[in-house]
Structure 1
């Protein structure tokens, strides 16, 4: 038996307190996000994020899967700061961008491209292997108009995703899709949704996957979407830096333990919640198995 343990975290929104923000940096959509950050900066705290990371480290994970929004404005200096933060983490990391990382059109090499060391071979979707687990990084983050935080993957990326899922499925790999925006419309408002969620859902329904991980909503959720032989778990997680008392929105991470079986895989998912002033709390685990015939799920519920 092979056991692989993933940590899923998202939306750390690293603090900008040490960065010099110039007026010319805000002559675009970034101005609105800067005002939002100023209004909500007390909600996203560096010490809360550190508590999350300390808890992840204490659980000795094999890989940290980060589903976007490392920054607030997607500025080059922010992306460089995020790269330094990633380089100091004591475990392997796989990262995809979020909408805040791609607020406006920017030079790839000066912004998100600084995180290439923590991605797989591009273009998106990329693949990173860890034993029998294939982490498939999908990019749903693209510049959008003001007051819009929606995402899309596009026809070309969707076609490539279908090919990757088919190939990795034939190899018997455990396929984990990482995407920033939730792939189900009911999980967020139209302004923040995945615009081509129907295309993504059709791809999963045809080609399958074992698990979909996302962020973006700042709410921890557990639901499913149809797959070719049964439901595919879809798991979201709250912001890793959110210092709030609501357990659904408090800083959290998902511990995903994947174990090989003679005819498939067993997955156990526990959400670790970091509430202000309290010790980390673990939820009862969700356990499901997947075989070539069909997945059998226990404990999955719609939000």
Structure 2
């Protein structure tokens, strides 16, 4: 079992490719999203950054990459194809774990395109060296203006079964798109059934939670019977906003075990538009198990 595992965390890419969008495709919630993108949201993203991000990720020699949703903006087939091509340029397919976000299921048709490109089932478990990744799907089709999520009862039941089988031989990481605890975002963007997730977190079997959706870097804590669990979001990958917690980039988690404790080092890498390079901010945690 490897002593140190390096996991990259990307989220909210919102890859947009509306050039060939049809009138038929716009006759849905996509029209709202298309107008919002053209008038406002699209100005916050710069996909030319992806080249620099790709080069930086390659230098980091990550063991694995996780993507916590919103790969696309309007869940168009071309968007899924192009973002998949980008992700495949970062690492081998077996070393990338992906969960969908609400924009990937923006309309019912999006589910078909997502599963065509990524062919995943949820929840899933992947063992990466000394880590266990548990991915769930909180994305659902919603009306305009709201972007809440929830886990189906089938997923909740399977997730409970999975966590009952996990043990502290591994550093257990839960991947979800929507914030899994209350108070992080507004009600219309929140996870509806946080109670079920909180019940699982209280057992202490999960060591770290990674999510997206809120478009900013954030570290919160949930207190389980075994101590505090970091609950972390990354900022959108190609964001151009300069406010500190929103600067575009990605996170790296370095995980190792020593003296019966897990050590988690978080590196937040943000893109510096002036130097055309990445700045690094580091956080260090010891997690008892």
Deviations 1:136-175 (A, max 9, x none): 11100010112110111132212211221221226x2111
Q: Distance in 2 between matches of 1:226 and 1:201?
A: 10
2:268 to 246, 271, 287: 271
1:204 to 171, 195, 201: 201
CA RMSD between the two structures: 1.8
The TM-score normalised by the length of structure 2 is 0.92
1:225 to 207, 222, 225: 222
| Pair 1:240–1:273, CA change in 2 (3 A) | same
Match of 2:34, SS state, is helix
Deviations 1:49-94 (A, max 9, x none): 3333322222111111110111001122322222222222235211
Unaligned runs of 5+ in 2: none
2:24 corresponds to which residue? 24
2:66 corresponds to which residue? 65
Matched, 1:104 2:107: yes
Match of 1:24, SS state, is helix
- Residue pair 1:253, 1:273 contacting (<8 A) in 2 also: yes
Matched, 1:95 2:98: yes
Deviations 1:171-228 (A, max 9, x none): x211111111111221111111111112211111125301000111111000111222
Q: Distance in 2 between matches of 1:53 and 1:178?
A: 22
Deviations 1:236-274 (A, max 9, x none): 111001012112111021110001224242111111111
Q: Distance in 1 between matches of 2:200 and 2:252?
A: 26
Offset of residue 38 of structure 1: 1.1
Offset of residue 113 of structure 1: 3.5
| 1:175-254 map, 5 Å | 175-254=172-251
- Residue pair 1:48, 1:243 contacting (<8 A) in 2 also: no
Unaligned runs of 5+ in 1: 293-303
Which aligned segments of 4 or more residues in structure 1 are displaced greater than 4 angstroms? Answer: none
- Residue pair 1:68, 1:96 contacting (<8 A) in 2 also: yes
Q: Distance in 2 between matches of 1:24 and 1:37?
A: 18
Aligned length: 284
Q: Distance in 1 between matches of 2:77 and 2:12?
A: 18
Match of 2:229, SS state, is strand
2:131 corresponds to which residue? 133
Q: Distance in 2 between matches of 1:207 and 1:232?
A: 8
Q: Distance in 1 between matches of 2:101 and 2:243?
A: 23
- Residue pair 1:258, 1:266 contacting (<8 A) in 2 also: yes
Offset of residue 6 of structure 1: 0.5
